[in-house]
Amino acid sequence: MRKSVVAGNWKMNLLTEDARDLALGLGPSNDLDGNVEVILCPTFTTLWAVRDALNGQPGIALGGQNCYHKESGAFTGEISPQMLLDVGCEWVIIGHSERRQYFNESDEFLNEKVHFALGAGLKVMFCIGETLEEREKGQMNEVLVRQIEGGLAGIGDKQFDNIVVAYEPVWAIGTGVTASPEQAQDAHAFVRGVVSNTFGETIANALRIQYGGSVKPNNAQELMSQPDVDGALVGGAALDAEGFAAIVKHAG
């Protein structure tokens, strides 16, 4: 049985006070029964405030939205896994489509980040997903294979304990158009198959695959009840405490 994992990706939103309020709002409304792993990924500048607001609340972990593949040095504007750990993060998102699209992050570059982040002791939510154009051209499978084989190249069996894959079709992110439960299930089953072919069946069966892309309280249950959907990576709906708590409940 794979434990569901629901993460809130706050993206470049919320100043300190609002971030703190959101974290405080999630605490008591989350009926955490240990069945769902919950991760909050605020901006770098509000990680401190969110950590303090959560005050070590069990069942909610912190994650960064990105990191660089060096510990320290002359890399202006970057942040290291060690710095994320220092501020209380357990997790980091790597390979989000917005990083791939707007910051030209390639599979090779992402692979370096995954290795470095895992080596430093972070757990990784590794994002993959096809664009609408790729889906319409029938290239979805090819793209997913490339992203998995490229981004996770050289990852050892043991390291998979610390990896979650997020399947996020780019056409569903922030658009309000979500994949249907069948589309999500098909893609997740395909991704699990690719992981099985590349890394083996045991790893594939244990790997948690989150769905991301316009997950809302009213579609979360159906999406997450699909056999290969093991949780959600939530953007817009994670900015509302009640809505996010409802999504977490649906994952349980």
- The residues annotated as belonging to the active site are 96, 168
Residue (5 or 233) nearer to ligand PGA, CB: 233
Q: According to CB under 6 A, which one of 81, 129, 213, 231 is a site residue for ligand PGA?
A: 213
Q: Which stretch binds ligand PGA (CB under 6 A): 48-56, 57-65, 195-203, 234-242?
A: 234-242
Centroid of chain to Cα 141:
20
Residue 244's CB is within 10 A of a number of other CB atoms, namely: 27
Please enumerate in sequence order all residues whose Cβ is within 8 A of that of 133, keeping only pairs 6 or more positions apart, or say none: none
Tally of CA atoms within 13 A in the half-sphere of 6 that contains its CB: 28
Cβ-proximal residue to ligand PGA, closest one: 235
Does residue 243 interact with ligand PGA by CB under 6 A? Answer: no
Residue 39's CB is within 10 A of a number of other CB atoms, namely: 24
Tally of CA atoms within 13 A in the half-sphere of 127 that contains its CB: 28
Q: According to CB under 6 A, which one of 54, 148, 173, 187 is a site residue for ligand PGA?
A: 173
Find the shortest distance in angstroms from Cβ 236 to ligand PGA: 3
CA angle at 148 for the pair 68 and 193, rounded to the nearest 5°: 150
Does residue 229 interact with ligand PGA by CB under 6 A? Answer: no
Give all strands (DSSP E) within 32-152, no chain letters.
Answer: 36-41, 60-64, 89-94, 123-128
Distance between CA atoms of residues 73 and 146, nearest Å: 31
Does residue 235 interact with ligand PGA by CB under 6 A? Answer: yes
Q: According to CB under 6 A, which one of 28, 174, 200, 252 is a site residue for ligand PGA?
A: 174
Element of type H or E holding 209: strand 208-212
Q: Which stretch binds ligand PGA (CB under 6 A): 16-24, 190-198, 208-216, 243-251?
A: 208-216
Find the shortest distance in angstroms from Cβ 65 to ligand PGA: 9
Does residue 187 interact with ligand PGA by CB under 6 A? Answer: no
Does residue 252 interact with ligand PGA by CB under 6 A? Answer: no
Q: Which stretch binds ligand PGA (CB under 6 A): 114-122, 144-152, 182-190, 209-217?
A: 209-217
Structure tokens at 201: 């069946």
x-or-dash string of contact with ligand PGA, 2-21, rule CB under 6 A: -------x------------
Position 201: which residue type? E
Does residue 42 interact with ligand PGA by CB under 6 A? Answer: no
Name which of 239, 246, 242, 241 is nearest 221 in CA terms. 246
Residue (210 or 226) nearer to ligand PGA, CB: 210
36 contacts 252 by C-beta, under 8 angstroms? yes
Q: Does residue 128 sit in helix, strand or coil?
A: strand
Find the shortest distance in angstroms from Cβ 200 to ligand PGA: 28
Q: According to CB under 6 A, which one of 130, 168, 230, 240 is a site residue for ligand PGA?
A: 168
Residues that bind ligand PGA (CB under 6 A): 9, 168, 173-174, 212-215, 233-237
